[in-house]
Amino acid sequence: MSIRIAVIGVGSMGKHHVRTLHEIDDVDLVGIADTNDETVQIIAKRYGVPAYTDYRRLLEETHPDAVSIVVPTLAHHRVAMDVMKYGCHLLIEKPIAPSVQEAQEIIEEARRRKLILMIGHIERFNPAIQELRKLLRENRAGKIFNIEAFRQGPFPPRHKDSGVIIDLAVHDIDIIRYLTDDEVERVFAEINRFSDASDDLLSSVLRLKGGIVASLNIDWITPTKIREIRVHCERGLYMVNYITQDLIFFENASAPSTTWDTLGILRGVSEGKMIRNAITKTEPLRREIEIFLDAIHGRCEVPVTGHDSLTALIIAQKIQLSGKEHRVVTMT
């Protein structure tokens, strides 16, 4: 049975939700909404769907089963709560909300109404990240020591309602939890501001409960787009390029084959083989939406829950506090 679905917000990200849903079989794209009449009319004409500037009218007239919410973060709570009044399942772009209270209210309302709530932390659906998680869970490279995340690029042309911590760093916070199955214990951050945003540059260190140290290098002052994560392990280094979906392993030839013992540490690190893992490249957004649809059909569990996104938001806010007060902040 086809799922009737609508998209609210068809800007720089929302238009890709519309395109992807239009391409998927067994989906009935019943309408799209955006406050920008010119934009919504262009997208609607391109895909042959009804256009609305009032999302409430869209909900009343089209009766969707599910809605993809791709509006600015500050509007997530208002739109999500309205959508749930119509009994619609929700896919909300990350972060779930701008505040913990609003996030909790969305989660509770979805639970109360027994609706599917999934948050669009799209990097989880990058095939290179999924393969990396599989290899880490198989312990192919031994113990994880350190994770470095790099998310850098030029200042975005579209209007931002938040700085790099909420807009960008939540991606990497979520991925660190996803890869390690561990929780953050404490954070320290230095931030800098060059625009009207709350933060344009972030350099942060996270200590996980299991002892892993992670660092975030996030900004939108770099003249080229960088999206990478590096995982330093006992027997080598994994490196993922999110953009090219490449996963490369750099072997530590001096690492012992069993455990990282004292003798192994004294031997140090030396360059070994470089292994480029075979990755079947797919569009992460399409995979994200397909899994959301599968969850509605009852074929799978929701892989990115409201709680996952709430946790990433809480950590991001602790990082903001650390940067503001120039001190280590412990998770409570």
- The residue ranking higher by pLDDT, 161 or 223, is 223
Beta-carbon count within 10 A of 242 CB: 22
Beta-carbon count within 10 A of 58 CB: 24
Report the pLDDT averaged over residues 113-139: 98
Contact yes or no for 168/218 (Cβ under 8 A):
yes
CATH code of the domain in which 73 resides = 3.40.50.720
Domain that holds residue 142: 124-284+314-330
Whether residue 294 is contained in a domain is answered as no
Contact yes or no for 26/3 (Cβ under 8 A):
yes
Beta-carbon count within 10 A of 274 CB: 12
Of 91, 72, 75, nearest in space to 20 by CA: 91
Confidence band, pLDDT 50/70/90 cuts, at residue 141: very high
Domain-terminating residue out of 93, 115, 137: 115
Give the per-residue pLDDT at 264: 52
110 in the same domain as 131: no
Domain-terminating residue out of 71, 92, 115: 115
Whether residue 309 is contained in a domain is answered as no
132 in the same domain as 95: no
pLDDT in tens, 17-38: 999 999 999 999 999 999 999 9
Whether residue 217 is contained in a domain is answered as yes
Q: Which two tokens stand for residue 299?
A: 């074929």
Q: How far apart are CA 316 and CA 166, in angstroms?
A: 6
Whether residue 291 is contained in a domain is answered as no
89 in the same domain as 46: yes
The CA-atom distances, in angstroms, between 70 and each of 75, 101, 260 are 9, 20, 46
167 in the same domain as 107: no
Report the pLDDT averaged over residues 30-53: 98
- Mean pLDDT (the chain, rounded): 94
Contact yes or no for 288/125 (Cβ under 8 A):
yes
Q: Which two tokens stand for residue 65?
A: 């089963």
278 in the same domain as 194: yes
88 in the same domain as 34: yes
Can you give the pTM of this predicted structure? 0.93
182 in the same domain as 57: no
pLDDT in tens, 236-247: 999 999 999 999
CATH code of the domain in which 145 resides = 3.30.360.10
- Provide the domain count of the chain: 2
pLDDT in tens, 159-181: 567 899 999 999 999 999 999 99
From 10-24, 62-76, 116-130, 270-284, the region with the lowest mean pLDDT: 270-284
Q: How far apart are CA 311 and CA 290, in angstroms?
A: 24
Whether residue 148 is contained in a domain is answered as yes
153 in the same domain as 101: no
Whether residue 298 is contained in a domain is answered as no
108 in the same domain as 49: yes
Give the per-residue pLDDT at 42: 98
